[in-house]
Structure 1
């Protein structure tokens, strides 16, 4: 009796369009950053190196209380416009590139693949960070204690006039040093957990929230030291410390932080960073998968058809 071989009919498979992935990613990025912005503000304040007692915070609760009472709760949202303007196109490129690279690397075939997922995540963050980095610089300049910047346009003009175009990209190599491993860990963890608890890969809000939250927390904790260095470089123009103002890259930032605070200095802001990334990543993946699901028509993709072949 001839053996029956189960062969997948690949011609019958439907592929999500790049436009849908990019639109869903854009909407997800805006949702994520807007909702979690106040916590990100507190994280930035806690990471900035300063000699002023009024600008130093020992905990998240202290930072929130002092900012709210002395500067008003609206201060927690200053700079959010910069994030929204940058997050839309950056996340469109981010998720569009991720899905495209993962497909080309074979990451959608035969279940979870660490190499394909991590590689696609790295490609996604390199391209999206090139768009997002200037907006991130503007955001952190507006978030810093004592900042006089009121609008995104004013901040862009002032930074460009006083420090030049390089100010928007001085932290880009450090950002990539952080975000490439962050994204590789985050995407790999997300896809691994999703594959284990939802092997059919159907739309499942609980799956996306759970996998996204865990992935965000793990990636944030691992890359916090690099985030502290990035914050120093992006806010150097506001410092009255000559060493910080003249910092030119990751090596300078690392030496300054270590000389002032030792190894503990690289954990500054870890708690708010993890608490920011856990819910924001959960929200981002929930939004992305949800927007993509409904943009496709609101139908879970059925399992690939199987054709019996008799050799």
Structure 2
């Protein structure tokens, strides 16, 4: 749990500026000041027009959520993977056990991280109206109630369950190829983590776009959909923008499709892969390092205890 907590905080904090650009690139109706050609162009524009600290605005709420979320995430994964592997193939690695453990760990992880994700993504949006994290949380609570913090939870799970299953299965498979003795090997952890993250990220990008829409509730996107509906019904636009919320995965998918067709589901895919590759590489390498240090010290203490006896 300690190793997982440190890994989660470092992963999210170090990659937060890229995540900020990814969130904006997934916008269905970006404002002129938030239209970026690629990740580096996005970072340059944000720093130039909004200040050097703008790409990390809201990182504190993510750091607070990432610690306990990743502690439970890795602890649950290790325990369930070991139990299922022993039940299916004692003494051998099981891809089914890896995938199932990743799915179960994701349920706990997302239950803690989802509120932090909602606040974080609202802080990241262009022209965000919130003065800070507490202002954003208070505004959400007053206007939408506690349900606002979990509006995208089912979508998050729908995205993260296949993401983490594919992620863990790919990582463990690559570890079998690159590090068959499963010793601490920094290079194999980095390469396996990066490739596993890239593959899983590319496959689940459409669901990530829907999750971003549910979290941010883009006023422009909602306005366009409601205007179209009102025009079709009475021949005039009489509905105020933002008068209702997009509340589920099915409705989010319809909104994304109507706003941009199939290509809209892959908005920000490049930024998502660029974010996930170093992110998962950092997470696994930090996790494996701290796990190695902790277990090594425990082993040395046991050896000293046996020697004293």
- TM-score, structure 2 as length reference: 0.86
Match of 2:119 in 1: 138
- Contact 2:85-2:93 within 8 A present in 1 as well: no
Q: Quick one: which of 169, 189, 197 aligns to 2:170?
A: 189
Q: Per-residue CA shift, 1:67-88, capped at 9, x if unaligned?
A: 1111012100001001100000
Would you say the 8 A contact 2:76–2:101 is kept in 1?
A: yes
Question: Per the alignment, do residues 49 and 300 of structure 1 end up closer, same or farther by CA in structure 2, a change over 3 Å counting?
Answer: farther
Structure-2 change in CA distance of 1:163 and 1:224 (3 Å): same
Per the alignment, residue 252 of structure 1 pairs with 251
Report the equivalent of 2:285.
286
Deviations 1:181-212 (A, max 9, x none): 00000000000000111111111111100110
Q: Map 1:48-87 onto structure 2 (within 5 A).
A: 48-50=27-29, 52-87=31-66
The answer to which structure has the higher helix fraction is: 2
| Whole-angstrom distance in 1 between the partners of 2:169 and 2:200 | 10
Instruction: Return 51-60 or 129-138, whichever deviates more.
Output: 51-60
Structure 2 unpaired stretches of 5+? 226-241, 301-309
For 2:53 and 2:24, locate their aligned partners in 1 and report how far apart those are by CA, in whole Å.
15
CA RMSD of aligned residues (A): 1.8
CA distance, structure 2, for counterparts of residue 148 and residue 216 of structure 1: 32
Corresponding residue for residue 216 of structure 1: 197
> Distance in 1 between the 2:203 and 2:126 partners?
26
Q: Which consecutive residues of structure 1, in runs of 5 or more, have no partner in the other structure?
A: 1-21, 302-311
Distance in 2 of aligned mates of 1:111 and 1:300: 23
- Kept in 2, the 8 Å contact 1:46–1:268? The answer is yes
Maintained 8 Å contact 2:28/2:260? no
201 and 157 in structure 1: CA distance in 2 versus 1, 3 angstrom threshold = same
Aligned to 1:296: 295
Aligned to 2:146: 165
In 2: Cα distance, 1:51 partner to 1:270 partner:
16
Q: Per-residue CA shift, 1:254-304, capped at 9, x if unaligned?
A: 111111111100110111100110011001000000011101125999xxx
User: Which residue of the partner structure matches residue 30 of structure 1?
Assistant: 9
1:105 & 1:266 partners in 2: Cα distance?
35
The Cα shift of 1:109 comes to 3.9
Conservation of the 8 A alpha-carbon contact between 1:203 and 1:300: no
1:137/1:235 contact within 8 Å kept: yes
Question: Take 1:175 and 1:209, find their aligned partners in 2: how far apart are those partners?
Answer: 25
Of residues 81, 90, 95 in structure 2, which corresponds to 1:102?
81
Are the aligned partners of 1:78 and 1:150 in contact in 2 as well (CA < 8 Å)? no
TM-score by length of 1: 0.86
Q: Is the 8 A contact 2:28 2:264 kept in 1?
A: no
- Residue of structure 2 equivalent to 1:4: none
SS in 1 for 2:110: helix
1:113-152 Cα deviation digits (max 9, x unpaired): 1110000000000111001100000000100000122322
